[in-house]
Structure 1
Amino acid sequence: MTERTRTPTRAAGDADSGITTTPNGPDPAAQAIIGSAAALTLMLTVVAALGVFNTVVLNTRDRRRDLGMLKSIGMTPRQVTAMMVTSMAVLGTAGSLLGIPLGIAGYDLVVPRMADAVDIALPSYMTDVWHPLALAGLALAGLVIGVLGALIPARRAARLTIAEVLHNE
């Protein structure tokens, strides 16, 4: 091999046997896994937000008569909105408290099997991902999704007049 065709890593390895010639860089498999997980997380967040929005819309439609009755005895639109948003915030919190442990169990079940199936060893930064701050952020995200999904239908229900509610029955 001529001096011209030797790569710098091979030349360094030939000069000193203590130098490793394996390039250290981002692992393509790890990058693919992280990218896929990020895309799936984003899609699941959108689906969860749409599911909450759908639940609130259906809940509001089912409770129209009750809301009309509450408004007829003096409940203000702001109170109706607060009541609807609070009920969905409780639902979002309950979903977080149930979903986080189930997600951790699913992760612990699926990820090692996926790594074994493709015969790769995952580094610790990809397997030790459950930190208290991240879990608190996930719980807060469930609450925020519940509240944001409830705002529009709750405001719409609060703007209805008593006559509109009772007329549509």
Structure 2
Amino acid sequence: MMCQNVLLISIKPEYAKLIFDGKKTVELRRIRTRLEKGDLVLVYVSSPLKSLVGYFEVEGTEIKQLPSELNDFWKQVKDKSGINRKQFLDYYQGALLGVGIFIRNPQKFTNPIHLEVIKKDIEKFRPPQSYKYLDVTEIEMFQSIVNENFLSQPKQLTLNL
């Protein structure tokens, strides 16, 4: 797999479950990302689970200007987002951008890694409020912690820092 970016993203437990069950194929955000097709997203599930549980590939992204494109955006993601229209409207209330990260090939780690275990190996680790781009060193540390090679050749990663 060749990718430009590796993103660590925090997701609520109920939405992470839908992603890994294949029922949610777009992750919605209010902040622009520089993700492109083929990039990798590591999924950290927030409280109460507080664990790194898996990853997915980016199928593509969609960025919409809000509020002018809100209805078009809803039509595009309504069957893929895992939320209803009211939740969608509440989430994007006052937002200037609507961002959809389209999901391909979600993979759960054999053994999810709890926050306390991560902090033993990466002392300064703090789960991102929304998301964080990882550098090659961080990617290698996470691969070591989960003991799975989710990115076959991290040395070939081209970072856009």
Q: TM-score range by the shorter chain?
A: under 0.3
Task: Please give the TM-score of this superposition, normalised by the length of structure 2.
Answer: 0.22
Task: Please give the TM-score of this superposition, normalised by the length of structure 1.
Answer: 0.21
Higher relative contact order, structure no. (Cα contacts within 8 Å, ≥ 6 residues apart):
1
Larger Rg, first or second structure (1 or 2): 1
